[in-house]
Structure 1
Amino acid sequence: MSKIIYLIGAGASYYSIPVVNNINYRLNETLERITQLTIPENLKSQYALHNLKTITKMQTLLKETKDWLIEELGDNSIDTLAKRLSDLNDYENLIKLKAALSCYLIYEQTKKEKWNKLAEASREIDPRYKDFFARAAKRSENYVQINNNISILSWNYDLQFEKTYATYYPDKDLGEFSDLLNSFPSYGKSKNDILVNNEKFNLVKLNGTAGLLYYKNDDKLFPLFKNFKENNTYSKELLALDVFTNTLISSLSYTHSPGLKFAFEASKDQDTPIEKAKILCRDAEKLIIIGYSFPDFNREFDAAILKNLSSVKEIIIQDYVSGYERNLEIINTIIDDKIIIKHHKDLDKFYIPPF
């Protein structure tokens, strides 16, 4: 069984994706750069499906969406705006938000690796994921896989786990990584066909994943790009532009829906990530919280997860002192006071307890 459950948030991807306080500026700056992209003549032939006129239309559409989003956001977070749009059943604008955010996140995670000083959003992959894989994984059967005593619940809609796996097997596509990670939602499978396996490592994406789409006819999830082997600067920008356009147009046509799906949108059925997370939590003995701040709009779902930790004896919070104290206050209002809560202050590596 998965004896150790991780609950991770934005801080766990800090060196690849900016945290809430800084993401609005970075999103605006990045999307503006993509709208200003000029494709050199010698590169146009690489994109048979993209003539210059089509690319220009896509860029204009992105700019209009970006300008709307930045104005709507103001000083609020992406999640706050998404919650308001969801509460208002404003489907079209929620799709616009998801399309722009997905475009941004895909671009942010395809930036070239720089061996400069480690800083916020300076790396394609937060190096702590690579370190975690190296320490928590072993070769099992034909592939390197994370220890079966571990499962992860992630509030992040990024692809950090998949990209880390790609450093081991660069020729594999996203669907194969989904299988190796026992992801939920899983690519190419209907949600009804996916069962949580407590005997293996599981990765549950509580807010879904950017850069993927559901095909509504069979409710199957598929990626908008095959793999991470995008080496040219311009191809990265076009990849992000493709993700934006396909997410927006396909979703507004009602044939598809974005793979990025906030927990507060979910229906009250047994096939939501939250329900899968609750199943995993029942036999866990330790909970490790990394980079997560228990925001108000997730409180209902976090409480549902924490209340299912019936066998947990210890909770470890890996965070700054201020983050630890805030989380401690929230957790103590939900769980049994007999559970031991500890603070792990070293943020250089994701904490792994003895198995």
Structure 2
Amino acid sequence: MENTKITYILGAGASFNCIPIVKNFSEDMDNIANLINNYIKRIERLVDFPKLQINPETNKNYILFDYLKDLKNTLESHASVDTYARILSIRAESNDLRNLKFALSIYLTILQLLRKTDNRYEVFLSSVLDEKNGDISLPNNVNFISWNYDMQLEKSISEILNYGHHNSHLEILNVFRSPEENLDDKKPYLIKLNGTASFFYHWGNRTDLLEYNFAKSDRNGILELLKYSESIFNNPRVHVPFAFAWESDNKLVLKNRDLAKDILKETEILVIIGYSFPVFNRKIDRNLLKDSLRLSKIYLQNPEANEIQFRLKSLLSREIPIENIFDKNQFYIPFELL
């Protein structure tokens, strides 16, 4: 039913085949750090590789490797990355919090360069994308709200279009890159509630997003990231366009959350994929859902949907039918959509 307003909410489980859930970051980071080191050793022999300063303690000349190792060691001392970030916020240790965000952005960017995009995005998008006179678009009645820092949805669209245009995903997904940006309200949105784990520079009023995920090849993307890694961490003009759930001073994130609330006010069918409604997000989730007066049905896709449904119901202001979907092989497409 093309006039039915449908919204997808994406959580960490939606990208599980590429990006581990948060509690497994530490274990996975060790593997990625070693992959990077081995990858660098190979490409050094093939290209004019940028020589970076050698760390005398590790004998590694790669700042990325050392940052990932340090981040892994830090996370092993805390329950999760969110817990550690919250502690840094309480202590007002802003520089350490900035470095944590940079390291997470580096880690997630490298993951998405070295690993194949979760193929469930490809299956889903190839099913719902419309093509007319050479123009590719999503159905106008479908919006996406994501709690994820990753760029799996954006990257998958670019892959489907064979990277024909560097910003091809921006032409299909309305996604904010800066708080000053105005988007086409006649197109569906991708709302990133926490922003995106990437990097951008500030030059006056201009904001440029550095989308390493959309490099011409994985090798070139890694080379570019290595080449600029030292300047990324040391340049005060470089920022990461994401925030943790409790942070309230990020204009881009606040703009996204306001728009998400407006979208949910009009939503009739809600499809929740891989999201478990964690405690850190509870206040925002309740605020987003409390005015969803047109909502008539919820599809909850998660292997642990029975348990998660109790958390979801506690956030709703009224009784709404919820159908649990346990399948992990592909994203659920409701009959109301196709």
What is the TM-score with the length of structure 1 in the denominator?
A: 0.82
- Give the 3-state SS of the residue equivalent to 1:326 in structure 2: helix
2:151 aligns to what? 159
Cα deviation for residue 309 of structure 1 reads 1.5
When residues 18 and 268 of structure 1 are mapped into structure 2, their CA distance, relative to the original with a 3 A threshold, is: closer
- Give the 3-state SS of the residue equivalent to 1:287 in structure 2: strand
1:331 aligns to what? 312
In structure 1, what is the Cα distance between the partners aligned to 2:170 and 2:322?
32
Report the aligned-residue RMSD. Answer: 2.7
Cα deviation for residue 246 of structure 1 reads 4.4
Match of 2:244 among 246, 257, 262: 262
1:139 aligns to what? 131
Match of 2:214 among 207, 221, 227: 227
2:67 aligns to what? 65
Percentage identity across paired residues of the two chains: 28
Cα deviation for residue 134 of structure 1 reads 1.2
Cα deviation code 1:187-224 (max 9, x no counterpart): xxx42332472x42210111211223252632624125
1:87 aligns to what? 90
Note if contact 2:267-2:294 (Cα within 8 Å) is conserved in structure 1. yes
2:325 aligns to what? 344
1:120 aligns to what? none
Match of 1:205 among 184, 192, 195: 192
In structure 1, what is the Cα distance between the partners aligned to 2:4 and 2:189?
8
Name the count of aligned residue pairs: 327
Note if contact 1:206-1:262 (Cα within 8 Å) is conserved in structure 2. no
Cα deviation for residue 86 of structure 1 reads 2.6
In structure 2, what is the Cα distance between the partners aligned to 1:4 and 1:26?
34
Q: Which structure 2 residues correspond to residues 1-355 of structure 1 after superposition, within 5 A?
A: 3-35=5-37, 37-38=40-41, 42-45=45-48, 50=50, 52=51, 54=52, 56=54, 59-74=61-76, 75-111=78-114, 123-140=115-132, 142-183=134-175, 185-186=176-177, 190-195=178-183, 197=185, 199-215=186-202, 217-218=204-205, 220-225=207-212, 227-232=214-219, 235-242=220-227, 244-250=229-235, 253=236, 255-267=237-249, 271-320=254-303, 323-353=304-334, 354-355=336-337
Cα deviation for residue 287 of structure 1 reads 1.0
Note if contact 1:150-1:201 (Cα within 8 Å) is conserved in structure 2. yes
When residues 14 and 99 of structure 1 are mapped into structure 2, their CA distance, relative to the original with a 3 A threshold, is: same
When residues 287 and 87 of structure 1 are mapped into structure 2, their CA distance, relative to the original with a 3 A threshold, is: farther
| Consecutive unaligned residues in structure 2, runs of 5 or more | none
- Give the 3-state SS of the residue equivalent to 2:85 in structure 1: helix
Cα deviation code 1:10-58 (max 9, x no counterpart): 100111111123221111221244356336555333x5xx2x2x26479
When residues 144 and 168 of structure 1 are mapped into structure 2, their CA distance, relative to the original with a 3 A threshold, is: same
- Give the 3-state SS of the residue equivalent to 1:44 in structure 2: coil
